[in-house]
Amino acid sequence: MNTITVEALRAWSSDGLQWLLKRPRQVIFAVAVAALVTAKMRHASARRERRKRWAKIGKDVVVLHGFPRGRLTPNTSPFVIKLETYLRLAKITYVFDDAEPIGPKGQSPWITLNGEEIADSQLVMEALAKKYDKNLTSWLPKEEQAIALAFNLMMTEHITWGLRVWRYVIDRGEQLRKCSKLDSLSEYIVYSLFPYIMKRRTWVQGMGRHKEKEVEEMLRQDIAALSHYLGRKPFLMGDRPCEVDCTLFGYTSQILWNYNGSPYVKMVREDYPNLEAHHNRMRTLLYPDWDELCLGAAGE
Ligand SMILES: N[C@@H](CCC(=O)N[C@@H](CS)C(=O)NCC(=O)O)C(=O)O
C-alpha cells in the first residue's frame, strides 16, 4: 500500500470515529439491533437443529415436550404429568425432551410426532387415542363418559386456577422454586416474572378475585367430590384406569409433593385419604422409575 492510500485510510477512519462519537444514541441503537438480530438468528438456528433431532427420533415415537423434571415429581406442571401418565397407560412409545417446553400455542406440554407438532394435553390425548386406537374411556357407558368429562374439566379449568392462586399469589413461587431445578438465569426469569404474570392471570380468570379462604373452600368442595366419587373403587371410573385418572394423578402429584405448606396437602392426605391411595396406586402401576425421573431434593 502506498503512503497516499495509508494516509487516506487514516483520515477516513478518524473522520468515521468522529462521526460515530457525535452520535452515541444512534450507535447504541445500531449495536442493540445487531445484537437482537444475531440472537434471533441463533435462536432460529437452534430451533431448526432441535427439529432435525426430533425428526430422527423414530417413526411413530412421540416426543413429549415439557418443563424440566422436578426435584420431587417428574414435572412441576399437572398438565405435563397428565399427558406423560396417559402415554404410559396407553403404552405409547415416547421420549421426554425439555429443550423447548413451550409449544406452538404458547403453553406446555406439546408433542412432536413424525414431524407434526400438536399442542394442548387434551388435544394431544385425543389425537393419539385416534391414531393408536387408545381411547381408554370409550368402553364406559355414555353416562359415565359424561361424568369423566365433567371431572376432567373440573380439575383442568377450576382446580388448576385455585392451585395457581396458592402457588403464585399466596406462596409467590417459593415452594415451586424449592421443587424445581433451573439454571440461575431461568430461575430468576421464571420466579421474578411468574408470580406477577400469574397474579394478573388469576384475576382475569376470576379465581384471583376471591379471598384466600373462599378459594380454599371451593377447592375443598372439588376435592371432596373427587374423593366421594372415587369411593372404594381403585380408579375413578371403576376397575380400570382411564384418561381422567391421569388428570387426577397430575393434580395429586402436585398437591402431595409440590404444595408443602398449602391447605391442600392435608385435604388429600388426611381429609380425603382415598385420593392419596389413588395417587400411590397410579404411581406404583405406571412410574416404577419415579425416583430416577426426579432430580432429588434441594441440596443433593
Ligand atoms: N389447556 C392446556 C393448559 C396447559 C397449561 O396451562 N400449561 C401451563 C403450565 S402448567 C403453561 O404452559 N403455562 C405457561 C403460560 O400459559 O404462559 C393443556 O391442557 O395443555
Both 265 and 175 in one domain: the answer is yes
- The Å distance, Cα 187 to ligand 1 centre, comes to 18
Both 123 and 160 in one domain: the answer is no
Among 107, 128, 179, 180, the mutation site with the greatest number of ligand 1 atoms within 8 A of its Cβ is 107
Both 45 and 66 in one domain: the answer is no
- The Å distance, Cα 109 to ligand 1 centre, comes to 7
Domain stops at, among 132, 159, 178: 132
- Backbone CA torsion sign across 200, 203, 208, 209: positive
- The Å distance, Cα 222 to ligand 1 centre, comes to 20
End-to-end CA distance of the chain: 64
Domain, as residue range, for 223? 142-293
The pLDDT of residue 11: 78
**143 or 190: whose pLDDT is higher?**
143
Both 188 and 284 in one domain: the answer is yes
The pLDDT of residue 235: 98
Q: What is the pLDDT of residues 216-275, one digit of tens each?
A: 999 999 999 999 999 999 999 999 999 999 999 999 999 999 999 999 999 999 999 999
The pLDDT of residue 4: 67
C-alpha cell at position 275 = 385420593
Tell me: pLDDT of 298 over 70.
Answer: no
State the pTM of this model: 0.90
The pLDDT of residue 15: 84
- The Å distance, Cα 155 to ligand 1 centre, comes to 13
Does the residue 15 lie in any domain?
Answer: yes
Does the residue 137 lie in any domain?
Answer: no
Structural domain count, the chain: 3
Count CB-CB contacts under 10 A for residue 140. Answer: 16
- The Å distance, Cα 165 to ligand 1 centre, comes to 15
Binding site membership of 107 for ligand 1 (Cβ less than 6 Å): yes
Mean pLDDT of 133-150: 97
Q: What is the pLDDT of residues 52-80, one digit of tens each?
A: 999 989 999 999 999 999 999 999 999 99
Residue nearest to atom 15 of ligand 1 (CA): 107
C-alpha cell at position 30 = 445500531
Question: Would residue 73 be called left, alpha or beta, if left means φ above 0 and alpha means ψ between -120 and 50 degrees?
Answer: beta
CA gap 37, 54 in Å, rounded = 26
Tell me: pLDDT of 300 over 60.
Answer: no
Among 108, 176, 258, the mutation site with the greatest number of ligand 1 atoms within 8 A of its Cβ is 108
The pLDDT of residue 49: 95
Domain stops at, among 132, 157, 178: 132
Query: Helix or strand or coil: residue 93?
Result: coil
The pLDDT of residue 5: 77
The pLDDT of residue 186: 80
Domain stops at, among 80, 109, 132: 132
The residues facing 224 across adjacent strands are none
243-253 and 273-286 are packed helices; what angle lies between their axes, rounded to 10 degrees?
110
Binding site membership of 79 for ligand 1 (Cβ less than 6 Å): yes
- The Å distance, Cα 121 to ligand 1 centre, comes to 9
Binding site membership of 120 for ligand 1 (Cβ less than 6 Å): yes
Q: What is the pLDDT of residues 148-195, one digit of tens each?
A: 999 999 999 999 999 999 999 999 999 999 999 888 888 887 778 888
Domain containing residue 71: CATH number: 3.40.30.10
Both 278 and 174 in one domain: the answer is yes
Both 18 and 34 in one domain: the answer is yes
Q: Which residues in 164-193 are b (16+ Cβ under 10 Å) and which e?
A: bbbbbbbbbbebbbbbbbeeeeeeeebbee
C-alpha cell at position 22 = 457525535
In degrees and rounded to multiples of 5, residue 95 shows phi and psi of -125, 150
User: Could you tell me the CA-to-CA distances from 174 to 10, 126, 137, 157, 179 in Å, in that order?
Assistant: 59, 34, 37, 23, 9
Mean pLDDT of 112-130: 97
Residue nearest to atom 17 of ligand 1 (CA): 107
The pLDDT of residue 214: 98
- Give 154's Cβ-side CA count (13 Å radius): 18
Q: What is the pLDDT of residues 5-27, one digit of tens each?
A: 778 777 788 888 888 888 888 88
- The Å distance, Cα 22 to ligand 1 centre, comes to 49
Confidence of residue 144 (pLDDT cuts 50, 70, 90): very high
Sheet order of strands, 116-119 included: 94-97, 62-65, 110-113, 116-119
